[in-house]
Structures are given as structure tokens and as C-alpha cells.
Structure 1
């Protein structure tokens, strides 16, 4: 198979995973893989040049965007919508066992959730912490 196809597949997979995590780091790797794919169209035999080009683009985007994102997040009026979920009430829609993930509906959104307690379906919970894509919950009314 032609090398640029592998780069395109890698870029697509990284992009899809980025859409699930929303961290921006995989987005830059995805763009780097896309650049490597373009380079492979120009210089198909030079795998090392493709890897270096993709790596430099991903590294450059990461280094360039880090200060911008930090400045944006610390600016007056910035509100991270994900932090608003902490303290809110939700309902377990897929049971949660200790050490395993379940599903919790908070407002109109469904989240993967963990808990230090076993929680059954339809139990009312409170969000105590939010990670990138997983929230931590406890029974509504429990104050640990």
C-alpha cells in the first residue's frame, strides 16, 4: 500500500480520538500526521523526512498553542463549561461498581462516571470531580 494512505489513516484516527478527549494535543499530532502524508506524496521513499516533518509540525503547534491557551484560560470572563458540572445532580443510567465505570446523566449530557461507592441504576448522585471525559460521583446527600 502507498505510505501516504497510512499517514492519512493515522491522522484520521488521531482526529477522532481527539474529538472524544478534547485536549488539543492529539489534534496537533493529527495535523502532523497529515503533513507527513503530504510530504510522502512529494518524497515517497524518504520515511525519515516524513517522520521529521510531521514531528516538527506537531511540536511547533504544541509549543505555539500552549501559551495562547494558557493566556486564554486565565483571561477575565473565561468560563470552562466542564467545571460547571461539579456539584450538580445527576442520575445513574448504567450501574457503577467500585473500580469500574458506569454512566450518569447530568442535565442533557451523558458521562462516563466512577465512584468510591457501588451505585445502582436510577440512583440520584452528585458530581464531585471532573476529569477530561470521566466524572466522579457520590450518592446525593453523602458528604465525604
Structure 2
């Protein structure tokens, strides 16, 4: 398989995943991969040049579009997937200790979670807030 095809497949995957996350960073990586594919069409076998051009494009897009993405994320209509978890109920799959996170299931997904109090496997929880990849949960009594 030609390398330019591989670059285009990577670009397609990045764009599709970007549609699910709305972070914009994967979109920029996808565009960088398209530029690398174009370079491969004109200069076959110049892998280092392809990677460098792709990285420069991603860097330029990231730097110059940061204010736009910041404004988009600050808009009132934007909701991150993890923001939607706050207030939802779940169940503890692996015990949550005071000093170590555990695993909880909220909806159809499993998440790392911490709590102010120890929680045992099988307890019902409610999501109080979120970190980058860890949920803060409390015991749910309802």
C-alpha cells in the first residue's frame, strides 16, 4: 500500500474521531496527515519531510486557532460528554478507597472515580463533578 494512502486513512480516522469529541486537536492532526499525503504524492519516500510538514501544519493550526476553539468551548451551548455525567447515577465496580481511585459504571461506560468516603463494590453512586479523566462520586441513597 502506498504511503499517501496510509496518510489519508489516518486523516479520515482523525476526522471521524474528532466528530465524536469536538476538541479540534484531532482535526488539526487530520489536516496535517492530509498535507503529509500530498507531500508523499510529489516526493515519494521522503518520510522525514512528510512528518515535518505535517507537524508544522498541526502546530500552526493549533497556535492560530486557539482563540477560536477557546471561544467555542466557552459558549453556553457547548457541553462536554463528561459534563453530562454530573448528576447521573451509577454503580461501583471496583472499591473506591480514600487514597486510591476505583472503577464505577455510569450508563454504559466505566470510569475511574474518587470519593470522600470509601465505597464498596455494588454500592449505588451519583456523579458530583469531574476531573480530566476521573469522576468525583458520592454514595447515593435514593
TM > 0.5 fold call: yes
Q: Is residue 120 of structure 1 aligned with residue 121 of structure 2?
A: yes
The residue number in structure 1 matching 2:46 is 46
- How far did residue 101 of structure 1 move? 2.7
- How far did residue 100 of structure 1 move? 3.9
Structural mapping, 1:1-20, within 5 Å: 1-15=1-15, 18=18
CA, structure 1 residues 20+138, in 2 after alignment: closer, same or farther (shift >3 Å)? farther
User: Residues of 2 paired with 1:3 and 1:48: CA distance?
Assistant: 12
Contact 1:104 1:113 in 2 (8 A): no
Q: Is residue 102 of structure 1 aligned with residue 104 of structure 2?
A: yes
- How far did residue 118 of structure 1 move? 3.4
TM-score (norm 1): 0.68
Q: Is residue 71 of structure 1 aligned with residue 64 of structure 2?
A: no
- How far did residue 90 of structure 1 move? 0.6
- How far did residue 37 of structure 1 move? 1.4
User: Residues of 2 paired with 1:4 and 1:90: CA distance?
Assistant: 46
User: Residues of 2 paired with 1:18 and 1:96: CA distance?
Assistant: 31
CA, structure 1 residues 16+102, in 2 after alignment: closer, same or farther (shift >3 Å)? farther
User: Residues of 1 paired with 2:16 and 2:95: CA distance?
Assistant: 28
SS at match of 1:81: coil
SS at match of 1:60: helix
Runs of at least 5 residues in structure 1 that lack an aligned partner in the other structure? none
Count residues with an aligned counterpart.
Answer: 133
